Amino acid sequence: MEYIVHILILSGIYMILTLSLNLMIGYTGLTALGHIAFAAIGAYTSSLLAINFGISPWIGLLAGAILASFLGLLVSYPALRQKGDYLALTTVGLGIIVYSVLKNWVALTRGPMGLNGIPPFTFFGYGGSNVFGYLVLVLFFVLLTLIVLRNITHSPFGRILKGIREDEIAASAMGKNVNKHKLIVLVAGAFFAGVAGCLYAHYITFIDPSSFTMMESITVLLMVVFGGMASLRGSIIGAAVLVIFPEMLRFLGMPTSVAAPLRQMIYGLLLVVLMLWRPQGLMGKFMFKKTL
Amino acid sequence: MLLQVDNLVKTFGGIRAVDNLSFEIESGSIVSLVGPNGSGKTTVFNLITGFLKPDSGTILFNNTRISSKPPHSIARAGVGRTFQNIRLFSQLSVLDNIMLAFKYGTGENFFNGLFQTRNMKAKEGKSRKRAEELLHLIGLSEKMDVLAETLSHGNKKLLELARILALDPEIFLLDEPLSGLFPEKRVQMLNHLKELNRNGKTIILIEHDINVVMSIAKRIIVLGSGTKIACGSPEEIKANKNVLSAYLGKAIL
């Protein structure tokens, strides 16, 4: 039972990441491939605050999310000047930079050894090692993310985001400030990724730079594409399926040396099948145009 | 003068696409910008609307300098344009395409969206009604909920016009609004343009069909290699030798 709850908690954390990345890619058309970097900032900020200063994870969560937003603000500098493939490469670079800093700034992050003994969340004094309690906490944040993103996207503001995705030039010819909107999206997306990173850190209670590699960003991207661009429901389904499905491999009794690469192979296979039969994703409302 | 263009220069590499161009547009007039392909007509539009920055020269709109402003502020100031190669929001509905163009003011603010405020909903309701009226006017009511990319070429052109009507600028810069249209749709489009002008709107029209230009424009500006080679009423242009040579080449004597 605890195992199932554990999987649900992980799905929930990935849902927050996927939803926030969908805001950037699916709704606004910002091809950001360094999403996990924002999560890493959130995770390390609240963990370090908790370990070094004994600050409550609740405050750490807010601090981590805000610091991640600042990174989003920083990324906006190149992001407002580049599009498409160029932006994708820049954000990949961002992911690598954050990873390298975490790995090499040993004095602060203890480098590859990682941070252990991160205190869990506590609810008004109740112990934090209770996985059921943690599930409720994560679901609360999933719901919060979902409501916020639903409200943003179901509004004139959200319509402008979709307009920017479709045609930036036309959007600015209609008097919409494209840069301002992209900036808000990057900051908001980074905020929620920071929240997800923080939830992860205080749940696992151990983080090291290898939790936040390029591969993780790709996994989240895969969840967005799988579930469907510009569909919040799709992101929920995409994250859940791609977390739960590989876990089933465990029951086949394979050694981990086989199961881990098999997981990657299944991701690859799923993506190929999906692109052939349903290129817009399961619930997708938008498909990248073929640009020739 | 509604729009004043002074000594505008724009070069791309070694090519002077717009070369010391000056003209003025009176409020309430229809002016047509004509010229052979590559004479710089669209570049002039891009300069006026801020998508390109001029190398030198100034553009005044309502006596305010707009040549250094970003495109969205120029659009908000009251300069609207359509594009030669139609630029719709392809994967949004026809209705959304129009609603996106309204000036919502605070209704489109991030926090109004986040908290789904009453203010936003009231504005949204109002603009939806207005969008439906516009679609009715333009004859696309039945296509309201389909994706813009599924429309026919003619309907796309009409939608682009409807969208700019929603923006409600003072001056309309229309880049070949009639190109590729079925005769019936051409008449419909031309009637819309005349109606606009009757309501006091200023129009600058890029158009290749000289019959249309002669029938609708009060004044014609002829461009050739980025410079103004003639300017005047349709009758004056017809009689102008420079125009003939720009279009057909010079006689060798």
pLDDT of residue A128: 59
Yes or no, beta carbons of B70 and A175 under 8 Å apart:
no
Give chain A's domain count: 1
On whether the CB atoms of residues A286 and A165 are closer than 8 A, the answer is yes
Task: Render pLDDT for A30-40 as a digit per residue (tens, 0 to 9).
Answer: 888 889 999 99
On whether the CB atoms of residues A16 and A192 are closer than 8 A, the answer is yes
Task: Render pLDDT for B103-152 as a digit per residue (tens, 0 to 9).
Answer: 877 678 888 888 888 888 888 888 899 999 999 988 898 998 999 999 99
pLDDT of residue B36: 86
Let me know if residue A207 belongs to a domain.
Answer: yes
| Residue ranges making up the domain that contains A121 | 2-211
Tokens of B11: 């070069």
ipTM of the complex: 0.89
Whether B252 shows a pLDDT value over 70: the answer reads no
Q: Once rounded to an integer, what is the mean pLDDT over residues B26-45?
A: 91
Give residue ranges of B with CB < 8 Å to any A CB: 49, 51, 70-73, 75-76, 80-81, 83, 87-92, 96, 99-101, 103-104, 107-110, 112-116, 120, 123-124, 163, 167
d(CA A171, CA A179): 11
Return mean pLDDT, chain B. Answer: 89
A292: confidence class by pLDDT, cuts 50, 70, 90: very low
pLDDT of residue A256: 74
Residue in B with minimal Cα distance to A151: B114
Q: Provide, rounded to the nearest whole percent, the portion of chain B with pLDDT above 70.
A: 97
pLDDT of residue A291: 42
Yes or no, beta carbons of B51 and A158 under 8 Å apart:
no
Task: Render pLDDT for A202-259 as a digit per residue (tens, 0 to 9).
Answer: 888 889 998 898 888 988 998 998 888 888 998 999 999 888 888 877 777 777 788 7
Chain B residues with CB-CB distance to A291 below 8 A = none
pLDDT of residue A124: 61
Let me know if residue A54 belongs to a domain.
Answer: yes
Task: Render pLDDT for A143-200 as a digit per residue (tens, 0 to 9).
Answer: 999 999 999 999 999 999 999 999 999 999 999 999 999 999 999 999 999 999 999 9
Q: How many CB atoms lie within 10 A of CB B153?
A: 13
Let me know if residue A47 belongs to a domain.
Answer: yes
**What pTM does this model have?**
0.89
Half-sphere exposure of B238 (CA within 13 A, CB side): 9
d(CA A171, CA A168): 5
Return mean pLDDT, chain A. Answer: 87
For chains A and B, what is the number of CB pairs under 8 angstroms? Answer: 101
